[in-house]
Amino acid sequence: MSDRSAEISTAYAAALPSLGAGHALEARLIGPAAYAARLSAARDAVNDAGLDAVLLGFGADMRYLTGYVAPALERLTMLVVPARGEATLIVPRLEAGMAGDAPAMRGGHVATIPFGETDDPFALVATAVRAGARAGNSTIGVAISDRLWATFVLRIEAALARGGATAKMRLASDAIGKLRMVKAPEEAALLRAAGRAVDTVVTAITSGKLVGRTENDVAREVRERLTSAGHEVASFAIVGSGKNSASPHHEASAKVIEAGDAIVLDIGGQFGGYGSDTTRTIWVTGPNGAVPPTDDFLHRYAILKQAHQAATDHVRPGVSCESVDQAARAVIEAAGLGERFFHRTGHGIGLEEHEDPYIVKGNATKLVPGHAFSIEPGIYVEGLNGARIEDIVLCGESAVDQLNLTSRELYVVAG
């Protein structure tokens, strides 16, 4: 990559990831001015969609626009981005200090309205919406966080209606989803650093001891290593051994890892807010290679690797998301194993683990530089074992840009 993201991550690579590295890099890369630009892009999107405001509860959209990671609690916290004028954060008084420390608030780009325990925050939201509404409308059009709790949605609707207007509600993703889908250079740099950090964990686990340990114990080690490699959250540690490797979303269990087990190791966390997510497959032979991988397993793994490579090579601006899925699927189907690959090829990644764009049949979205997503075909034989290879990639200016760089060969380990 020739852009700023590559420069930043080269500079970053000079220092190995360490405790707190993700947050430190995030703070260095994304300052108040970046949030001001994002807020103004969101305001443009509100106007383009013919809306009066977008209303965002806790979650990734609020973090993207302000840097504030609001707690997921029963008191309302809501960012109102109106069609006209300044954005407003309605926030419980006891969390106002915390919110005020977030970069967009610190930079003075968002007005903060704290409310007390007996105040009505929904009335405050309605007031902020009306103050910034487009002139001359009898209906109020708002886009609202896709995952806002019903208890908030219904009370906001009622509060808007009390002002005499009917509220028309849409999903926030319709209006501002496009903003987060294409990663800016500083976001790409965080994703790249997240990939570098999680790769060190893959290397440590695949070169350590596995036989005789429980999946839970390996998962605990994964989480510890994700954190010491700079992730602030160790989100998941899938350690599926033996039959469990055939269950794609198996987490980890008390099962003891034995010679002759395949292991699907799918791990990731949040690094400066941005997700890491990679999968490698291991075969445990036991001491002196006692139980080597079966020919059938090696055959399936070879097909899987070809499928992963075909999808990866297919990535470039202008190709559709579904064609990336098809590139992987065609290889597995041609080998007569189509039934054994029963999930989509990938998902977008950013401030959320799974987000747009999804790499799945039916998604005609064309890739553009800055799209970030996983490529993770798998082949599973129920009751026996399974295998998956997963990398996060960016769509670059002319080709794929891979963010996970550990070997994609089968990891054959003895002990």
**CB nearer to Zn ion: pick between 127 and 235:** 235
Window contacting Zn ion (CB under 5 A); options: 165-173, 205-213, 266-274, 308-316: 266-274
Cα separations in angstroms, 323 against 51, 229, 296, 367: 34, 35, 28, 10
Dihedral sign, CA of 57, 63, 66, 69?
Answer: positive
Q: Work out whether 391 is an interface residue with Zn ion (CB under 5 A).
A: no
Q: What distances in angstroms separate CA 159 from CA 58, 126, 130, 203, 249, one per listed residue?
A: 19, 6, 11, 54, 41
Structure token digits, residue 412? 């054959």
Mask for 267-306, x = binds Zn ion (CB under 5 A): ----------x-----------------------------
In whole angstroms, how close is the CB of 266 to Zn ion at the nearest point? 4
* Binding positions for Zn ion, 32-51, rule CB under 5 A: none
Q: How far is the CB of 306 from Zn ion (least distance, A)?
A: 20
Q: Tell whether residue 325 is a contact of Zn ion (CB under 5 A).
A: no
Binding mask 163-192 for Zn ion (x = CB under 5 A): ------------------------------
Q: How far is CA 383 from CA 75, 164, 249, 331, in A?
A: 46, 61, 15, 23
**C-alpha 79: how far from its chain's center?**
21
Size of the site for Zn ion (CB under 5 A): 4
Distance CA 32, CA 312 (A): 35
Of the pair 145, 374, the CB lying nearest Zn ion is at: 374
Apex CA 127: angle with CA 124 and CA 131, to 5°? 140
DSSP β-bridge partners for residue 393: 373, 402
- Of 84-92, 201-209, 317-325, 389-397, the segment contacting Zn ion by CB under 5 A is 389-397
Contact 388, 304 (CB under 8 A): yes
Closest to Zn ion by CB, 186 vs 277, is 277
x/- track of binding to Zn ion for residues 355-374 (CB under 5 A): -------------------x
Nearer to Zn ion, 285 or 374 (CB): 374
Answer for the pair 351, 240: CB distance below 8 angstroms, yes or no. no
- Nearest distance from residue 374's CB to Zn ion, in Å? 4
266 binding Zn ion? (CB under 5 A): yes
CB of 380 to Zn ion, least distance (A): 13
Write out the residues near Zn ion by the rule CB under 5 A: 266, 277, 374, 390
